[in-house]
């Protein structure tokens, strides 16, 4: 396999806005085909990759989900030769002015997000934070060219170039959640030569940013006995509470809370300590904000776990993660899979409540 850094840069260079994931899905499928026994696309567009257990017959199933969709923008109105925009997923408008973007019309067009000069806007104080009604994309195209090639409803993705920093960190758009797709790829690579006792479904889900659509539908389809969501979490930044954030490059997070089955949380803790893998406990008292929320309550319910990768500047066009944390997440997932024993999954849970 190519290095995870190179693959992640490809992921971060590919569009795949929530609801429009096909370009990045194609890229992931190409990478996973050599690591899986079977590949399929769900009815709503999620990517399913199966590693079968090594012995014939029926086996329990574990599903690991990492959403491949990203936040982005959409053309809401075309006026005065400019594209007025709205958000897909949670995009803070304060970070948008000056950002380079790609408008996906009849073909791809480069553009820049700009706003009306506050000194020329009569009904707002100078220095006010930008809001979507005042944000637009300038492509440099004429009105006639725009009319022919760009339509209301076309999506707009960030065009930030992925960059590595000191060989340790990587920045770019869509690390939420392409970092976790990369970690799941590391997991599949680690498992390449293992004889598995359970079936494993690696799933790149769609539309997590718009209601966990892929997680609901894939869980219903695949019917796993155990579900694991891999997603990003908040890394420490200046001015943030340390109990709500986690150090960048110092390991993964292991979730605990209502979305998390306590037996799974305990198992992941034991494995992390056994292999001396740096980790932190991430408390999730209300909900995890991940695909785990959907996995846990689909059909009759699924015992669920959440593994997190800290990133800085979440939901901006320039997020940052540590390459070591991505690799650690993949190794932790792989070690959990290799420790699953044949037979009933009940032995994992010791009768505890989900």
Alpha-carbon gap, residue 198 to 228, rounded angstroms: 14
Alpha-carbon gap, residue 126 to 110, rounded angstroms: 29
Q: So what's the pLDDT on residue 223?
A: 97
Domain ranges of the chain: 4-70+173-348, 72-158
Residue 39 scores a pLDDT above 80: yes
CATH number 2.40.30.40 given to 72-158: yes
pLDDT confidence bin for 352, thresholds 50/70/90 = very low
Considering the chain, what is the average pLDDT of its residues? 93
Q: So what's the pLDDT on residue 342?
A: 87
CA angle 191, 277, 352 (to 5 degrees): 80
Q: How confident is the model over 121-174, as pLDDT tens digits?
A: 777 777 778 889 999 999 999 999 999 999 999 999 999 999 999 989 999 999
Q: How confident is the model over 1-21, as pLDDT tens digits?
A: 458 999 999 999 999 999 999
- Phi, psi of 141, rounded to the nearest 5 degrees: -80, 155
Question: Which residues have a catalytic role annotated?
Answer: 208
Q: So what's the pLDDT on residue 353?
A: 45
pLDDT confidence bin for 344, thresholds 50/70/90 = confident
Work out the percent of the chain whose per-residue pLDDT is above 70.
98
Mean pLDDT along residues 237-248: 83
pLDDT confidence bin for 350, thresholds 50/70/90 = low
Mean pLDDT along residues 233-256: 89
Q: What is the CATH number of domain 4-70+173-348?
A: 3.40.630.10
Q: So what's the pLDDT on residue 18?
A: 97
pLDDT confidence bin for 201, thresholds 50/70/90 = very high
pLDDT confidence bin for 239, thresholds 50/70/90 = confident
Q: So what's the pLDDT on residue 348?
A: 82
Asked whether the CA dihedral 15, 16, 18, 20 is positive or negative, the reply is positive
Q: Which residue has the tokens 């932190």?
A: 280
Check if the beta carbon of residue 156 is closer than 8 Å to that of residue 20: no
Check if the beta carbon of residue 205 is closer than 8 Å to that of residue 214: yes
Alpha helix (H) ranges present in 102-224? Answer: 143-149, 175-190, 213-222
Query: What Cα–Cα distance (Å) separates residue 76 from each residue in 41, 137, 264?
Result: 30, 11, 44
Task: Give 138's strand partners.
Answer: 112
Residue 314 scores a pLDDT above 50: yes
pLDDT confidence bin for 89, thresholds 50/70/90 = very high
């Amino acid at each position: 396999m190519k290095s995870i850094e190179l693959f992640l840069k490809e992921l971060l260079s590919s569009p795949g806005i929530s609801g429009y994931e096909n370009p990045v899905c194609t890229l992931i499928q190409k990478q996973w085909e050599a690591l899986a026994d079977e590949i399929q696309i769900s009815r709503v567009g999620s990517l399913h990759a199966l590693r079968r257990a090594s012995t014939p017959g029926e086996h329990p199933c574990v599903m690991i989900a990492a959403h491949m969709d990203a936040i982005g923008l959409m053309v809401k109105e075309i006026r005065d030769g400019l594209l007025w925009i709205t958000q897909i997923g949670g995009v803070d408008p304060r970070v948008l002015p000056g950002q380079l973007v790609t408008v996906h019309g009849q073909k791809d067009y480069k553009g820049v997000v700009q706003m009306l000069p506050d000194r020329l806007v009569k009904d707002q104080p100078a220095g006010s934070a930008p809001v979507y009604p005042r944000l637009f994309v300038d492509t440099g195209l004429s009105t006639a060219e725009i009319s022919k090639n760009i339509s209301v409803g076309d999506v707009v993705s960030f065009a930030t170039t992925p960059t590595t920093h000191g060989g340790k960190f990587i920045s770019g758009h869509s690390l939420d959640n392409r970092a976790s797709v990369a970690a799941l790829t590391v997991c599949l690579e680690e498992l390449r030569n293992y004889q598995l006792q359970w079936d494993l479904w690696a799933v790149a889900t769609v539309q997590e940013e718009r209601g966990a659509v892929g997680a609901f539908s894939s869980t219903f389809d695949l019917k796993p006995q155990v579900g694991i969501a891999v997603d990003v979490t908040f890394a420490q930044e200046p001015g943030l509470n340390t109990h709500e954030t986690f150090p960048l490059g110092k390991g993964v997070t292991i979730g605990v809370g209502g979305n998390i089955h306590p037996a799974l949380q305990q198992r992941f803790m034991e494995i992390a300590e056994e292999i001396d893998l740096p980790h932190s406990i991430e408390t999730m008292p209300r909900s995890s904000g991940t695909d785990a929320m959907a996995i846990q309550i689909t059909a009759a319910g699924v015992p669920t776990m959440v593994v997190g990768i800290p990133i800085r500047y979440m939901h901006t066009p320039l997020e940052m993660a540590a390459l070591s944390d991505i690799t650690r997440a993949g190794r932790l997932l792989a070690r959990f899979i290799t420790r699953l024993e044949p037979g009933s999954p009940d032995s994992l849970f010791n009768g505890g409540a989900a």
